[in-house]
A and B are shown apart, each in its own frame.
Chain A
Amino acid sequence: MSSARRTITGVRASLLSFGREPFTVVMLVVLPALSIQIYGVSMGQFPEFGLFEAAGSLETTGRITGAVFATGALAGVLGLFQMISARHADRRLAICGFRGGELVGARFASVAAASTVVGVVATISLVGLLSGPVDAPGALFTGLALAGAIYGLLGILVGSVLPRELEGSLLLVVFADVDNVFASGLFGIEESVTQFAPLAHPHAIVTQAVVDGSLATAHVAPALAHLSLFAVASVAAYTYQVGGDE
């Protein structure tokens, strides 16, 4: 079997095992819309007394925050469970002759595929739930896809470093919740701090796509830097973990 075929087989097996859980698939489709709607409604209940720093209306900012959070958190949890559940399977695949690079490729491609699906669902949901039209849906999808990819990698990283479901989930859930609040920019926390929040730049890209109808080019490079950082860290952690198992 060729290397490419092995990788495709690995990705296919991961996606099939994911698709066998219909509830999980339903959650991936329903939760982004639910999150966008709930965040929008909840932000609409706050008075405009100058505490919250929002580019658009508070309701719009709430919906954007809900979309970014749902995309990132769903992809992150997916990456985490993908890593933990694949730990033993990867060891068996290695015995069957799969190389480390093929296994890494398969895991990353599975998470990338799932993140893309979540990003597409969140983009469609956000466009549908916003009160006005979105002039830059491509930029909107770019921001959400980056949020999903960054957190998918973060999930892989946490799953490699801390391959236990309870502890890994605690860490990822808390990190995603805090990161989302920082990234929203709502509480007037200094940008010199929030720029290090992984969701901050995807959030800025999505906000500019919705409010100004353009791509926030100044935030693309920092977002890609976050993505690269997590990619390197997660590959290193995964390689170390698989090496430690052998």
Chain B
Amino acid sequence: MMNHRVTTAVSMGVREFRRTPVLLALLAFLPAYIIGAFVLLVPDISVPVTLDGTTVTVPMTDFAAAFMTPVTAAILTGIVGLFLVQRSQSADDRLGLAGYGATDLVVSRIGTLAIGAVVVTAASVLVAVLSFTPERVGAFAAATLLTAFTYGILGVVVGILFDRLGGVYVMLFAPMVDILMFQNPLATDSPDWTAVLPSRFATTALFDAAFTPGVEAWDFVGAVAYTLALLAVGVVVFYRATKVG
């Protein structure tokens, strides 16, 4: 019965996405705009990138494509997560009256968010691989998905804790500061505290997958663990905010 409820709620969420073609168009166009703009406009030079303590030189266009992929996925999924939870709060209360338990709702919303993360990741990775060929495409896509899902959960938590305006402010700054500024492999002197930021493990794995033949499994383990920990926090916050027994 629970499976049926969750499937129904997720399919309703997906149907709501489908009913807003502008949203789908934006989710497809914005990755092309962000990644494409940087790839086309950055100068045609090579830059030294520090990966796991080793410096490798890569074309700036490849670097821009690889670097803007997790930024794009995080921004878009974060905002989608924020509005997913805010738009569904009244619907969740009604679903509660219809017999849904809190677990049904949590699993349903996470399922819908995961679909959103997959869509955004697919669009972002597709644009990126049209510009350059990562050393390990599968690992590159997996790391992007982990970054997207992490920020999607963060968007959900922010959406529950803050109002819409405040939530958009937070999700406007968070991915830019975390990924673009503090996980940038061009940097050589990052403060120690940046190691605990949400995208640390996933972006480390992503840059390894983009520019080196080997990927540290521990980076993926760390990224998955971070995502699960954040998910646990999100579930607790969601339970406390949902008026369903």
Q: Which A residues are closer than 8 A to B by beta carbons?
A: 21, 23-24, 27, 31, 34-35, 38-39, 41-47, 49, 51, 73-74, 77-78, 81, 162, 164-167, 169-171, 173-174, 176-178, 181-182, 187-190, 193
The 9 residue pairs across chains A and B that have the minimum distance between CB atoms: A42-B181, A166-B83, A45-B187, A45-B189, A188-B43, A189-B41, A23-B166, A173-B172, A47-B188
A38 and B83 contact, Cβ closer than 8 Å, known pairs A169-B168, A173-B171: no
Please choose the segment from B72-80, B136-144, B200-208, B227-235 that sits at the chain A interface, where 4 or more of its residues have CB less than 8 A away.
Answer: B72-80
Q: Can you list 25 A-B pairs, Cβ within 8 angstroms, ordered by A?
A: A21-B165, A21-B166, A27-B165, A27-B169, A39-B181, A45-B188, A46-B186, A46-B187, A46-B189, A47-B187, A49-B48, A77-B165, A77-B169, A81-B168, A164-B20, A166-B80, A167-B23, A170-B79, A173-B172, A177-B71, A178-B38, A182-B37, A187-B42, A189-B43, A190-B41
How distant is the Cα of A187 from the Cα of B180 in the complex, in angstroms?
13
Residues of chain A contacted by B34 (CB below 8 angstroms): 174, 177-178
Q: Contact: B30 with A174, CB < 8 Å?
A: yes
Which B residues are in CB contact (< 8 Å) with A173? 75, 79, 168, 171-172
Q: Which residue of B lies closest to A73 (CB)?
A: B172
**Nearest CB of chain A from residue B29's CB, rounded to whole Å:** 9
Contact of A38 among B22, B72, B177 (CB under 8 A): B177
Main secondary structure of the interface of A (DSSP, over half): helix
Is B171 a contact partner of A24 (Cβ separation < 8 A)?
Answer: no
- Of residues 22 through 55 on chain B, the ones whose CB sits less than 8 Å from some CB of chain A are 22-23, 26-27, 30, 33-34, 37-38, 41-43, 45, 47-48
Given contacts A23-B162, A166-B79, contact A74 B181 (CB under 8 A): no
Cβ A74 vs Cβ B75 within 8 A: no
Residue of B nearest to A39 (CB): B181
A110 to chain B, nearest CB (A): 14
B76 touches A170 (CB 8 A): yes
Distance in angstroms from A51 CB to nearest chain B CB is 6
Name the CB-closest residue of B to A62. B181
Assess whether A24 is in contact with B163, with CB atoms less than 8 Å apart.
yes
CA distance A176 to B173 in the complex (A): 10
Query: Scoring B residues 154 to 191 as 1 if CB is less than 8 Å from chain A, else 0, what string do you get?
Result: 00000000111110110111001100111010111111
How many whole Å from B20's CB to the nearest CB in chain A? 7
B240 at the interface (CB under 8 A from A): no
Q: Is B18 an interface residue (CB 8 A)?
A: no
Interface flag for B94 (CB, 8 Å): no
Residues of B within 8 A of A169 (CB): 79, 83, 168
Q: Which residues of B contact A167 (CB under 8 A)?
A: 20, 22-23, 26
Chain A residues, Cβ within 8 Å of B22:
162, 164, 167
Verify B42–A176 contact, CB threshold 8 A. no
Contact status B37-A178, CB under 8 Å: yes
CA distance A188 to B63 in the complex (A): 14
Tell me which residues across on chain A come within 8 A of B169, comparing CB atoms.
Answer: 24, 27, 31, 73-74, 77
Residues of A contacting B80 in the complex (Cβ-Cβ under 8 angstroms): 166, 170
